Amino acid sequence: MSTAVKATLLAIAVVMIGMAGSFIWFVATWDKEAEQPIGFAPVPTIQITEDRTA
């Protein structure tokens, strides 16, 4: 392998390790009580008013 290929692979490895480390740090330091919930809105109820069995 040439020096350019080794440098490129090393740069890719550093970026991947950085992203993995950042994600692990994010999950490890997550404080659930400090954040507002997302997507927990009450589900609207549907009421059927007609009998369509005929």
Q: Domain boundaries in the chain?
A: 3-31
**Rounded-to-integer distance, Cα 20 and Cα 15, Å:** 9
**Rounded-to-integer distance, Cα 10 and Cα 4, Å:** 10
**Rounded-to-integer distance, Cα 9 and Cα 18, Å:** 14
**Whole-model pTM above 0.85?**
no
Number of CB atoms found within 10 A of residue 42's CB: 5
**Residues 1-54: pLDDT tens digits?**
899 999 999 999 999 999 999 999 999 998 888 877 777 667 777 777 777 766
Return the pLDDT at 10.
97
**Rounded-to-integer distance, Cα 27 and Cα 46, Å:** 37
